[in-house]
Structure 1
Amino acid sequence: MTAFLANPDALRRMHPFPSLHHRITHTADATQAVSIGNFDGVHRGHQALLGTLQESGLPTAVLTFEPLPREFFRGTDAPPRLSSLREKVVALRQNKVQNITCLPFNQALANLSAEDFITQILVKRLRCGLLSVGHDFRFGAGRRGDLDMLCRFGQAYGFLVKEQPPFLLDGERVSSTGIRAFLQAGKLSQAAAWLGRPYALCGRVVHGDHLGQELGFPTANIPLNRRPVPVRGIFAGRLLSPQGNWVAAISIGLRPTVGGKQMVLEAHCLDADSPDLYGQQVSVELHHKLRDEEKYADLDTLKAAIDNDVVNTRNFFAEHPKDSE
């Protein structure tokens, strides 16, 4: 037995989300319809996969991993995620996934054979009755497991395997890689079309240096120093919070004019009387890229640029009123 399977706690260590009413699944109570994957971004291709689970009439379950396998194998060379684990859980819940299991991806799991993955995890732990996966799904040590193996084991253990074909938009296969490329190129509307919603970053609002307040543009600050993100620059968007939702001018970057060293998201809510959001979890949607981040000669020049960003944010939402809803 591998070290992974010898330690049952390996199947239980997850990030708890009490505020999301997140239930950690250890061993399933009943036969489930299951899908497996990174689900990075929970985009429209993923949503089609989840729709297959819903159609089965069985309780629905997703098995995912933390860190993502590519992060385990590639470390800091891995591309930035589209969604944090928290954001992924929220999106899966919104897509009516009832049970979410997140396995710690470590060396023991990387060494787990495809056969043991099926028998020990899919069959014994998840009680899989139906498995819905993409056409190119691979699993197990050395990526030796494939659809043919799943179908053979399904016949032996009594679960059905459904292959989900690629989800196409305008003839292109929707993928997390493609969405990441759109975001890095500033093509927010294309990214939103593939995601099925505006791209958003979530986090807890913290105190900053209050420079925005001094310049007349108070901001909600979310540190990003522990999270590489696929976007950088100045954006028109929206801030969604328990207190309300606001159109916002948003900066994501290092703040080079003031010698910033760490990535931070700053959102200036328009037409709001400086809402007190400190300590709250908020979501910041990005609808349109206004410009790249720049280093200015002084604070007066920076203030003039922010003034212009606010005007351009208003203009964007005046031209696209549905985006502000």
Structure 2
Amino acid sequence: MQVVRGIPTQADEPAVLTIGNFDGVHRGHQALLKLLTDKAHAMGLPAVVLTFEPHPREYFAPAEAPARLASLREKLLLLQASSVDRVHVCRFDATFAAQPAQGFIDDILVRGLDVRHLFIGDDFCFGARRQGDFAMLQEAGRAHGFGVESMTTLSVEGERVSSSAVRDALAEGDLEHAARLLGRAYSIAGRVVHGDKLGRQLGFPTANVQLKHRRPALSGVFAVSVEGLGAQDVGGVANIGVRPTATDVPRPRLEVHLFDWQQECYGAHLRVHFLHKLRDERKFESLDALKTQIRHDADAARAWLAGNPIRPRPSTPMAAKAERTPRHG
């Protein structure tokens, strides 16, 4: 899959396109991407996604923006796993936000991407002050010779599938509900970095998975499976939060104690699949009390995993690699 930063002035080839943030690539996104790739295959054209970085809500109201379900890297891997051919990552800044809706159509859809068919969600708006809508795209399609389709919202068991619904389920610790909406267990991927070695001092060494500047969508202690250490996932117990007993760090950390794993894994890129919530994070009166609780958590996670064996993962986006191409303006 090609990853292109920005939009070219003039497209090299026509495309079948969809547009969106695709945070989490949930089952609604997956249904839209299936329409995209099927149409692209039928037309003999590449399946192309246009997405934004940062999320528009992060640009307009950073303090009120919701937690991301996936980093940009994770989103790209999930899009590749959905058989997308090319992704354009468009920087959402003041210039882009001020672009008129007609300019978006002329400069991006027509000249920059040479769209021959466009799929959008039923709530898609575009251009300055969100003045562009589905009717405007249909009119543009008739004028420039491209088809436009809107996909209605997908429902699962009567509930509208959305990134907000996934966030709500994760915030409530209902991982089973989140998995139904996502079509898979919720996961976070990152590189293992050095920490303060407190877990090792307590007898439970942890892999510290880098979150960078990300605000996670969930917190607490979980039974997990960890991908990226070999052919088989490794079970473990994870804490994601601010560690109020030990250091009360200002930014959340993701720390995973891997069961029956003795090797160092610094620098490894892991994906942590959150399978079952054990408890909320809380402050203990001492490190000894924390150590006792960690032992209970590890035992509880082992017991849960014993009753819910980790299934082999025949194909995952972890191993996918995106081919990056030069930036455009």
Q: Decide which of 139, 143, 152 is 2:139's aligned counterpart.
A: 152
8 Å CA contact retained: 1:35, 1:133: yes
1:284 alignment partner, SS class: strand
TM-score, normalising length: structure 2: 0.89
Distance 1:86 1:242 in 2: 19
1:67 paired with 2:54, answer yes
Q: Hey, what's the Cα distance between the residues in 1 that align with 2:281 and 2:265?
A: 25
The 1:121–1:90 alpha-carbon spacing in structure 2 relative to 1, beyond 3 Å, is same
Shift of 1:295: 1.1
Which of 275, 292, 296 aligns to 1:308? It is: 296
* Among 157, 160, 183, the residue aligned to 1:173: 160
Match of 2:4 in 1: 24
3-state secondary structure, aligned to 1:123: helix
**Larger RCO of the pair (alpha carbons < 8 Å, separation 6+):** 2
Q: Summarize the Cα distance change of 1:80–1:208 in structure 2 as closer, same or farther, 3 Å threshold.
A: same
What does residue 11 of structure 1 align with? Answer: none
Residue pairs, 1:68-217, within 5 angstroms: 68-217=55-204
Which residue among 29, 45, 48 is the counterpart of 2:31?
48
User: CA RMSD for the aligned pairs?
Assistant: 1.5
Question: Partners in 2 of 1:269 and 1:22 — Cα distance?
Answer: 34
**% of aligned pairs identical?**
43
Instruction: Please say if residues 182 and 188 of structure 1, whose CA atoms lie closer than 8 Å, have aligned partners that are also in contact.
Output: yes
- Cα offset, 1:242, TM superposition: 4.6
Partner of 1:319: 307
- Secondary structure of 2:248's counterpart equals coil
Q: CA deviation at 1:223?
A: 3.7
Which has the larger helix fraction? 1
| Structure 1: gaps of 5 or more residues | 1-20
Higher mean C-alpha deviation, range 242-251 or range 173-182 = 242-251
Measure the CA separation in 1 of the matches of 2:143 and 2:206: 58
Q: Does 1:254 align with 2:237?
A: no
Gaps of 5+ in 2: 314-329
Q: Work out the number of aligned pairs and report it.
A: 304
What TM-score, normalized by structure 1, do the two folds share?
0.90
Do 1:238 and 1:324's aligned partners in 2 also have CA atoms closer than 8 Å? Answer: no
| Residue type of the alignment partner of 2:207 | A
Q: Which residue of 2 aligns with 1:294?
A: 282
1:45-74 deviations in whole A, cap 9, x for unaligned?
A: 001100111111231000000100000001
Q: Give the CA deviation at 1:31.
A: 1.5
Deviation at 1:323, TM superposition (A): 5.5
Partner of 1:263: 252
